[in-house]
Structure 1
Amino acid sequence: MHTVRLLLATTKYDEQIINKRFHAVSHIHNVLVKHSKKCLKKLSCDKEYQSLKAEYSAILKKNKISKEERAYKKQISRRMAEIVKGHGLSEYSFQAYIKICARQFRGCLSSQQVQKEATRVWRGAEKILYGNGHELHFKKFRDFNTICGKTNTNGVKFYKNAYFIEWLGLNIKCRLPKNRDYIIKALNSDISYCEIERKMFPNGWHYYVVIYLKGDAPHKLSTAENNDSITGVDIGVSTVAAVSENEVILKELAPRCKVYNRKIEKLQISMDISKRISNPDKYNPDGSIDRSNHEKWAYSKTYLKKLNRLKSLYRQKKAYIKQSHEEIINGLLEQSASFIVEDMSFKGLQHRAKKTERRKEAADIKQKDGSFKKVYKYRRKKRFGKSLNDRAPASFITILTRKANLYGGNVYKADTRSFRASQYNHVTDDYTKPELSERNKLVGGHKVQRDLYSAFLLRNSNKELNKPDRAKCMCEFDRFLKLQNCLLTEMKENGISMKQCFGF
């Protein structure tokens, strides 16, 4: 399945109607959230369910489970599912519940659009029941960006011949870009369903129709289709290194994200000042928020304009990161359509470190009497949350997988624990764990950049993808050295540096 997004040529009247419909969706969503919270609370008070849940988790914790225990576990699972459904916690129960509430919005939203919103809330409740979810949250009107359907016959209908949409009395034309050849090719497929999307710009909301079409998207690149070679990709928190047969790449992910961060920070400070001026009674003398004051917040027109601008900046940052990833991936696809990457959990890198440890080096701390004392300070527990938010390496892998599959290739994931690309040396055939700050290493008397060498090892992995193939590495190493030295020399001449990641 692929998508095409077209800008809608809306009038002021159209925008007013669409805004009313987004208000209707937000109301339906929050009514369902309230209902699901009640159902989940009743379930948590169900003594039978809680006892069965305790038995089920006790069986799962055992190292070995007998056949009798497996059969009993299935019985418990069935009974728990019955209790969950009995409390109204299912997709169809949510859809049936909201049916009555949605009658007042019959002229605004179709039945399938209401059902789709119920399905979205159910996905959140499902994560709490069976995944790692903790709590369902109510959403503000500004946070709703899409109204989705299920088919092209109910709700939003897109007409290919005239390039316009029909949506419960609204007929809106679509604006086509200047280079429309790709869009015309993409629209040749059968339409699955449509959704209305809105994006915030400095001058207000812009509205789009997103058309979901069956089949694969048309191909833009032709060089990768008949290329059978494999590229090794070492994806880091802030950088990406790739080694193919004839090229090596070492690039920073989304290098201009800091520009957007500075703009966002500056605007947030300005907004905070504006909010404090408009609400002097909501703050304590020390500047903290007065929690005992439950009056409504007052927002000036200037503040609301800045709020729109802030949302627009976040949209621009997100679009820039995606575009930056697409450009790098298109360059990789010119070399090959198949890739080997390490199976990393970027979500785990977001969390703070669990262990409380002290630094290895002592720092001189000045005392009150003027003397200095050496103290081993505690290590920071913060990890890579901010960098992951700015660089989005997981999104890079997702886009790479989608595009590789489109061009007949694939993304193969090596087992990180057994492979240990950053620790292996193919010349000595041993593993040495380096410090995170060490960006270069010696291999056979040659200085290699650590990320590029990891990508080289991934490219030359064995069939099981659990360790490097030493024979392949020995054969390909000289060519890799030539390509690496040429790349690093060119980067240094052009002033491209990132010492904490590249080593120069």
Structure 2
Amino acid sequence: MPRQNRSKTPSFIVEMPLVVSNKDAGVLSSRFEAGRQLYNACLGEAMRRQKLVKQSKKYQEARAFKKGKARTVAFKEVNQAYGYSEYDLHSYCTTIRNSWIGEHIDSNTAQKLATRAFNASEKVAFGQAKKVRFKGKNQIDSLEGKTNKTGIRWINETLVWGNLQLKPHLTTYDPVVTHGRHSRVKYVRLVRRRINGKTFYYAQLVCEGKPFQKPKNRIGQGVVGLDIGPSTIAIVSDEFGKLTLFASELKLASNKIRQLQRKMERSRRANNPKNYNPDLVNKRGQKKKGTIKKSRHSWNNSRSYQKVRTAKANLERKLAAHRKSLHGKLVNEILSLGDNIKLEKLSYKSFQKNYGKSVVKRAPGEFVLHLKRKAESADVNVMEFSTKTTKLSQTCHQCESVKKKNLSDRIHQCDCGIYCQRDLYSAFLAKFVDEKELLQANQARDAWLGSEPILYAAWRQATQTNLRLGGRVPSSFGKFPESERVAAKVLNVDARVLGCCTNSGEPSRGIKTF
């Protein structure tokens, strides 16, 4: 089941709020509901056809082939035999539109929903997902067209969809929005959002060309190495180093969210006692709340429950928007340092399993997607290399020895005299990984003399400045060695350093002088 490579022209998105009356809101609500039912129907049909494909003998024979052109052709023939393709699903959604759904959804929008459903089923076919999720009521919040000629269109500063004509609500001059309004529109996406219990609609114009670039966000030149963790990031370029938390300025409000969750649970238990098993008492006499019964239930949610749920959703929406803004600032900072960015290829699903709380708060995977998206629009190269061939956190560039470290070991200390914070050191080595995904240790040795004070300065700033964390320094940063000689070395005051104390109080084997 090979994917098709489609050449794409550069594009960017400009979002504008829409002025929607109560009458128009009712029409839009009906169309979103029709789109949801069309999507579910297409998704169910796609999964049915995929099941028939996998049960066929031709599919089993194709799996026995070696990877190559013959195997690809065999899979393609099986898919065609059972009508499992994007365009076959387009034909299926045409038959669905011969009903009341056709009164609300045009052909282009229907085909885009069919494509979305096919892509979701394809993830299961390729093993990228275990199952698909059908959309419940009010769970589809975006509809889009294919072109700006029919269906959902943007004409004369107005969103036109059938008999609907919606004007944008623009209050201030924004050069980003102005740039988008003067660009050619490929197609339009209509987005629905719920804020403080109210529904708002937005038009996202997918425009052709490059996005507007603010003068302060210029692209730099050079190589930048990154080392990404569940909640931290190390950035190293030729003249800059930084170790920080993702979205360090974000006020997490974890206690407030936990209070709202408990309040929601108490309200739900009080209004739906039949849906829960009876409470249990253990041997110590401690009472344990009953779990939800394993069956389908109808839930009675009170008005107070709905208010608390809205407050929780609004708080989480604000946190997500603030985190996204802070991610954008960090991405712009990285792009200003260089046009060739190198980082390890990591499994962010593994991060979610092992460091769930940190990932929920800091979202490293979302940051990497943001970085790739902006780098692509700015013609910046982002290279991800395998950790199996490089082993940056275990390798010493000076003596080229490889020594496995525990996750609790936050400092790279080698017998040859190299001493540095682990994440900063990995980001430094990432700069010297070539296209074959091999570390060029000789290049790292040549650059170490000038980069060592930069890494020490970044480490010192990360550990001795509170970074707006209320004085708390994350344990993953490691303990910076408290020594006046090291401080003098970072500030280039002393030309020679005779020694440095480690965080255990014992003298190190010597840091190279410069």
Same fold (TM over 0.5): yes
Moved more, 143-152 or 297-306: 297-306
Change in CA separation of 1:33 and 1:501 when aligned onto 2, cut-off 3 Å? same
User: Aligned-pair distance for 1:337?
Assistant: 2.2
User: Which of 228, 236, 242 is 2:229 aligned to?
Assistant: 236
Q: How far apart are residue 462 of structure 1 and its match?
A: 4.2
> Could you tell me which residue of structure 2 aligns to residue 380 of structure 1?
none
Cα distance in 1 for residues equivalent to 2:69 and 2:107: 41
Aligned counterpart for 1:146 among listed residues 121, 142, 147: 142
- Residues 53 and 78, structure 2, Cα contact 8 Å, conserved in 1: no
With 445-454 and 303-312 compared, the bigger mean Cα shift is at 303-312
Write the distance in 1 (CA, Å) between the matches of 2:173 and 2:13. Answer: 17
For residue 252 of structure 2, give the secondary structure of its aligned residue in structure 1: helix
Q: 2:78 maps to what in 1?
A: 80
- Which of 340, 343, 359 in structure 1 is aligned with 2:342? 340
Unaligned runs of 5+ in 1: 352-382
Is the aligned partner of 1:2 residue 2:12?
yes
Shift of residue 173, structure 1, vs aligned partner? 1.5
1:33-432 matched pairs, under 5 angstroms: 33-43=43-53, 46=55, 49=56, 51-60=57-66, 73=71, 76-85=74-83, 89-102=84-97, 103-159=99-155, 161=156, 163-221=157-215, 224-225=218-219, 227-255=220-248, 259-286=252-279, 287-291=290-294, 296-351=298-353, 383-432=354-403
TM-score when scaled to structure 2?
0.81
Structure 1 residues 184 and 71: alpha-carbon distance in aligned structure 2, compared to 1, 3 A threshold: closer
Counterpart secondary structure, 2:427: helix
Q: In 2, are the aligned partners of 1:224 and 1:336 still within 8 Å (CA)? A: no
**Deviation of 1:503 (Å):** 1.2
* One of 5, 23, 40 as aligned partner of 1:13: 23
Q: Quick one: distance in 1 between partners of 2:430 and 2:69?
A: 43
Moved more, 129-138 or 243-252: 129-138
Structure 2: distance between partners of 1:237 and 1:177:
39
- Deviation, 1:137, is 2.5
Q: Give aligned pairs, total.
A: 453
Shift in alpha-carbon separation, 1:310–1:113, aligned structure 2, 3 A: farther
- Which AA in structure 2 matches 1:291? K
Cα distance in 1, alignment partners of residues 59 and 235 from structure 2: 47
**Residues 42 and 400 of structure 1, relative CA distance in 2, 3 Å threshold:** closer
Contact 1:401 1:411 in 2 (8 A): yes
The one-letter code of the counterpart of 2:40 is: N
What's the CA shift for 1:33? 3.0
Amino acid in structure 1 at the alignment position of 2:142: T
3-state DSSP of counterpart to 1:207: strand
Corresponding residue SS for 2:366: helix
Bigger shift: 305-314 or 2-11?
305-314
* Distance across 1 between alignment mates of 2:122 and 2:325: 33
Give the AA of the match of 1:344. L
In 2, Cα distance between the equivalents of 1:8 and 1:247? 43
Distance 1:14 1:402 in 2: 34
Moved over 6 A (4+): none
The one of 409, 428, 431 equivalent to 1:456 is: 428
| C-alpha distance in 1 between matches for 2:39 and 2:411 | 52
Unaligned runs of 5+ in 2: 1-10, 280-289, 480-514
Give the partner amino acid of 2:197: N
Any conservation in 2 of the 1:8–1:172 contact (CA below 8 Å)?
Answer: yes
Q: Which amino acid counterpart does residue 29 of structure 2 have in structure 1?
A: N
Shift of 1:438: 0.8
Structure 1 residues 168 and 473 mapped into 2: Cα distance closer, same or farther (>3 Å)? same
Q: How far did residue 239 of structure 1 move? A: 0.8
CA–CA distance in structure 2, aligned partners of residues 90 and 400 of structure 1 = 32
Q: 1:27 aligns with which of 10, 18, 37?
A: 37
Query: Structure 2 vs 1, CA of residues 183 and 429 (structure 1 numbering), >3 Å: closer, same or farther?
Result: same
**Contact residue 25 and residue 147 of structure 1 kept, 8 A:** yes
The reply to whether residue 466 of structure 1 matches residue 466 of structure 2 is no
Normalising by structure 1, what TM-score? 0.82
**Are 2:400 and 2:441, in contact at CA under 8 Å, matched by a contact in 1?**
no
The Cα RMSD (Å) is: 2.6
Q: Secondary structure at the match of 2:105?
A: coil
